């Protein structure tokens, strides 16, 4: 079992337990009271290169990323320095994230938020809506075609944006076949954790016309951003390289400085 399979297996157990504490029906009762969140794709497209800046404590590949971790301060810094959206990790076991971090960030910023999670159950999608997300991550490599299509529909019904993540040509074709209009190309292989920007360079040309293309992971320098833009990316998702800097917000501004 690779790390993605292990995370998803653990996630299914976690979500079954959470559903016993708060049922899908209990979440759905909240929906009519929720205001509309800012549009995710519109925000990404409003600048020459959209930046989804990430809030996370740790990861299986990097370990602990940041000692002094105050989600609201980090996210506010991102917003003040040109980020189009903020991604917040929901997984606690492997990434140190969760509801508390998401809520803290949501209260601190106005820009859209991505519910960054290993989605294996529609309960999570409704939960994302109640938490104030504008977009929900779907990982093609973790889902069957039927699950992918069903979750995309569930997300759209709630007027959220699915960000459909792929890593290779087969997954890209599956995302396209499912009707994805916002595709994230993860430069990190979630099965091996090998990371290379070549993944975006190879897959970007496959993106359908009009698709919003996001390059994710392994993006460290302003020069990287220029190359990704030239390859066809409309936005980037960056976490670790920003969070390792003393001031992640200023690091975000620097990353976009050549665009």
Q: What is the pLDDT along the chain (259 residues), one digit of tens a residue?
A: 888 999 999 999 999 999 999 999 999 999 999 988 999 999 999 999 999 999 999 988 889 998 889 999 999 999 999 999 999 999 999 999 999 999 999 999 999 999 999 999 999 999 999 999 999 999 999 999 999 999 999 999 999 999 999 999 999 999 999 999 999 999 998 777 789 999 999 999 999 999 999 999 999 999 999 999 999 999 999 999 999 999 999 999 999 999 9
CA distances from 119 to 84, 92, 149 (A): 23, 14, 13
**pLDDT confidence of residue 126:** 98
**pLDDT confidence of residue 106:** 98
Q: Give the long-range contacts of residues 6-14, CB within 8 A, separation 24 or more.
A: 7/60, 7/91, 7/93, 7/94, 7/118, 8/118, 8/120, 8/142, 10/93, 10/94, 11/91, 11/118, 11/120, 12/120, 12/121, 14/93
**pLDDT confidence of residue 192:** 78
Tell me if 85 sits within 8 A of 46, measured CB to CB.
no
**Residue closest to 239 by CA, chosen among 42, 82, 107, 58:** 58
What is the CATH number assigned to the segment(s) 3-30+38-255?
Answer: 3.20.20.70
**pLDDT confidence of residue 61:** 83
- Token pair, residue 59, equals 């990861």
- Token pair, residue 94, equals 């492997």
Task: For residues 83 and 96, give the distance between their C-alpha atoms in angstroms, rounded to a whole number.
Answer: 22
**pLDDT confidence of residue 246:** 94
**pLDDT confidence of residue 193:** 79
Contacts of 56 (CB under 8 A, 6+ apart): 65, 88, 89, 95, 96, 97, 116, 239, 243
pTM of the shown model:
0.96
What are 131-140's pLDDT values in tens digits?
A: 999 999 999 9
In the chain, where are the structural domains located? 3-30+38-255
Tell me if 79 sits within 8 A of 106, measured CB to CB.
no
**pLDDT confidence of residue 25:** 97
- Bridge-based pairing of strands 63-64 and 58-59 is antiparallel
Helix axes 122-131, 3-21, angle to 10 degrees: 70
Q: CB-hemisphere CA count at 13 Å for 149? A: 8
Given its phi and psi angles, is residue 153 left (phi above 0), alpha (psi -120 to 50 degrees) or beta? alpha
DSSP string, 54-65: EE-SEETTTEE-
């Amino acid at each position: 079992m690779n790390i993605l399979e292990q995370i998803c297996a653990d996630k299914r157990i976690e979500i079954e337990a959470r559903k016993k504490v708060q049922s899908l029906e209990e979440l759905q009762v909240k929906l009519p009271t929720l205001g509309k969140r800012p549009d995710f794709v519109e925000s990404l497209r409003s600048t020459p290169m959209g930046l989804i800046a990430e809030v996370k404590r740790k990861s299986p590949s990097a370990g602990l990323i940041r000692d002094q971790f105050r989600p609201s301060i980090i996210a506010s810094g991102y917003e003040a320095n040109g980020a189009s959206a903020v991604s917040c990790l929901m997984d606690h076991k492997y990434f140190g994230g969760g509801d508390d971090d998401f809520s803290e960030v949501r209260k601190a910023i106005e820009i859209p938020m991505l519910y960054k999670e290993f989605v294996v159950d529609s309960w999570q999608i409704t939960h994302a809506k109640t938490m104030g997300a504008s977009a929900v991550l779907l990982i093609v490599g973790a889902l069957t075609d039927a699950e992918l299509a069903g979750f995309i529909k569930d997300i759209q019904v709630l007027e959220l944006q699915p960000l459909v993540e792929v890593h290779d040509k087969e997954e890209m074709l599956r995302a396209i076949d499912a009707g994805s209009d916002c595709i994230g190309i993860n430069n990190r292989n979630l099965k091996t954790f090998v990371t290379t920007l070549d993944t975006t360079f190879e897959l970007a040309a496959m993106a359908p016309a009009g698709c919003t293309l996001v390059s994710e992971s392994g993006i460290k320098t302003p020069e990287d951003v220029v190359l990704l833009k030239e390859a066809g990316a409309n936005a980037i998702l960056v976490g670790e390289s920003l969070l390792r800097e003393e001031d992640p917000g200023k690091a975000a501004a620097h990353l976009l400085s050549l665009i």
